[in-house]
Amino acid sequence: MTPTISAAPRGALAGIRVIDFGQMVSAPYCAKLFSDYGADVIKVELPEGDAARAAGPFPRDVPHPEKSGLYFFHNTNKRGITCDVAHPEGRRLFLRLLERSDVLIENNLPQRMRAWGLDYATLAEINPDLVVISITPFGQTGPYSGWNGYDLNAFHLSGASSRYCGRPGETPLEHGTFAADYFGAVTAAAWGLAAVYGRELAGGGQQVDVSCAEAIAAAFVGGQNIGCYAQEGRFDKRTGVGMPLGAPATILPCRDGHVWMLALEPGQWNGLRKVMDDPDWASLEMFQDMYSRAQNADVIYGFIREWTMQHGKMEIMEKCQAAGCPVTAVFTIAEAAAQPHLQAREYFVDMEHPQLGRLKNLGAPFKLPACPGGPERPAPLLGQHNAEVYRELLDLSAADVRRLAQCNVI
């Protein structure tokens, strides 16, 4: 049977209306995944705006609420309105919006949602079909659910840093980005979209409670470690090298930066030897398998480093890859941005923002050939779509909207 093809090209999530009541990274990025793939996402901000508007990065480091890079990135393809949910009339408007929506995505601490009278029980009563996606550092239940917390606290509560990142005895490290927020965001997007897709089977909407710490503790750290600890009572910690049990498997410096040096299997090791012009030391008995190489890590990393320091990262990567060895350049952000590969795949998109001007953005995170996604419209200015959205969804007149603005409700 030939499927019916709809007239206009529409995004994969067309027909789903989302209220994004998030700030900073986790909920806004989750909602961006919905908006960039075609859902109608309305970003609701308190009158003071999303905290990301104050978090930068800003052009020339000059703070400006309409020039935050963080806000720009995470709020593409959304319409933006303001609403003071702490004001009784604002709360009523917010609940009326939720009556007409499929999904709420939010990342406020649970006590804050309760204080606003926006706890899940209240929302489910207003709209039983609403899927409420809550993304918080610790989750809606459990002893830490009342704690204050941010991305940093969630990441380090997951076991990931103690186990996998940093030198022994020194400070455990996060990734240099909002790693817990992003992990929570994609987790929430997958579980939340399933709850929307299967709403009839599930018997209505539901609350999707994502703890960023828990998602990482389970799916990253727990998967590879918890069975061992439960059975044998022992566990490992960070070592500061890439892979302590096999070598070479670590980041090494080279002439113009760093490379991820990996040559574990015999074919890979032989490839690396060839690229290095088969130096004498490489035929030593202690370097003949990945385990004995790891036992002599200091020696072998010293030898390999002597070679890498004489070569550039791209040359090392290209020669090693051609020789069957999975060595990659450690790209800086600027180098990552200049990759012909990503340009050939049209990963980068130029966008125009009323305050930031023209700038290069990252495009869709994955390609759906039948219904391409990705950012097209820039993040909204604060309250940019107040008149349009309040009229279209709640049937408010221009005069109503003016009055609400005068009373600081919107």
Partner 1 sequence: MANQLPLKGVRVVNFGWVWAGPVVGQTLGFLGAEVLKIESAARVDMTRNLPPFADGIPGPDRSLSNHACWAGNGSVSLNLKEPEALELALRLIATADVVVENFGPGVMERLGLGYERLREVKEDIILFSMPAAGLYGPLEHVRTYGLSLTSLTGLDSLVGYKGGEPVPVENAFSDPYAGIFGAFAVLAALNHRRNTGIGQHVDFSQQEAVMQMVAPAWMDYALNGRSGGPKSNEHPTAAAAPHGVFPCRGDDRWISIAVCRDEEWQGLVAAMDNPDWAATPAFATLPARVAAIDQLHEHIAQWTHEFDDRELAARLQEHGVAAAPVLNVGDLLHDPHYCARDTFVEVTHPLGFRETIYGAYVKTSRTRPDIRPGPVVGQDNERVFRTLLGIPEAEYERLKRDRIIY
- 267: contact with partner 1 by CB under 8 A: no
- 65: contact with partner 1 by CB under 8 A: no
**Beta carbon of residue 307, minimum distance to partner 1 (angstroms, whole number):** 17
Choose which of 47, 65, 117, 241 interacts with partner 1 (CB under 8 A). 241
Q: Which stretch binds partner 1 (CB under 8 A): 93-101, 295-303, 365-373, 390-398?
A: 365-373
Residue found under tokens 């039983």: 128
DSSP for residue 50: -
Contact (CB, 8 A) for 391 and 97: no
Angle at the Cα of 366 (from 341 to 260), degrees rounded to 5? 50
**Beta carbon of residue 382, minimum distance to partner 1 (angstroms, whole number):** 18
- 394: contact with partner 1 by CB under 8 A: no
Both tokens of 57, joined, read 């990065």
- 240: contact with partner 1 by CB under 8 A: yes
- Of the CA atoms within 13 Å of residue 153, those in its CB half-sphere come to 11
**Beta carbon of residue 395, minimum distance to partner 1 (angstroms, whole number):** 27
- 405: contact with partner 1 by CB under 8 A: no
Longest dimension (CA), the chain: 85
Cα separation of 186 and 27, whole Å?
10
Choose which of 277, 280, 285, 369 interacts with partner 1 (CB under 8 A). 369
Of residues 70 through 129, those in contact with partner 1 by CB under 8 A are 70, 72-74, 120
Q: Which residues pair with 41 in a beta bridge?
A: 18, 78
Total number of residues that touch partner 1 (CB under 8 A)? 169
Quick note: the x/- pattern for partner 1 over 21-40, rule CB under 8 A, is ----x---x---x---x---
Of residues 137 through 196, those in contact with partner 1 by CB under 8 A are 137-145, 147-167, 169-179, 182-183, 186-191, 193-195
Beta-carbon contacts of 119 under 8 Å, excluding residues fewer than 6 positions away, are 110, 113
Residue closer to partner 1 (CB basis): 42 or 262: 262
Residue closer to partner 1 (CB basis): 78 or 156: 156
Amino acid at 114: R
**CB atoms near residue 364 (< 10 Å):** 16
Of residues 215 through 234, those in contact with partner 1 by CB under 8 A are 215, 217-232
**Beta carbon of residue 397, minimum distance to partner 1 (angstroms, whole number):** 33
**Beta carbon of residue 327, minimum distance to partner 1 (angstroms, whole number):** 8
- Single out the residue of 203, 208, 187 nearest to residue 128, CA to CA: 203
Of residues 332 through 361, those in contact with partner 1 by CB under 8 A are 332-337, 339-342, 344-345, 347, 356, 359-361
Residue closer to partner 1 (CB basis): 54 or 405: 54
Contact (CB, 8 A) for 187 and 220: no
Residue closer to partner 1 (CB basis): 250 or 386: 250
Question: Cα–chain-centroid distance for residue 88?
Answer: 34
Residue closer to partner 1 (CB basis): 254 or 409: 254
- 60: contact with partner 1 by CB under 8 A: yes
Beta-carbon contacts of 161 under 8 Å, excluding residues fewer than 6 positions away, are 155, 172, 173, 174, 238
Residue closer to partner 1 (CB basis): 117 or 326: 326
**Beta carbon of residue 97, minimum distance to partner 1 (angstroms, whole number):** 21
- 199: contact with partner 1 by CB under 8 A: yes
SS (H, E, C) 160-197: HHHHHCCCCCCCCCCCCCCHHHHHHHHHHHHHHHHHHH
Residue closer to partner 1 (CB basis): 80 or 139: 139
Q: b/e for 64-77, b at 16 or more Cβ within 10 A?
A: ebbbbbbbbbbbbb
Residue found under tokens 């490379």: 259
Beta-carbon contacts of 353 under 8 Å, excluding residues fewer than 6 positions away, are 72, 359, 378, 379
Residue closer to partner 1 (CB basis): 225 or 270: 225
**Beta carbon of residue 390, minimum distance to partner 1 (angstroms, whole number):** 28
- 236: contact with partner 1 by CB under 8 A: yes
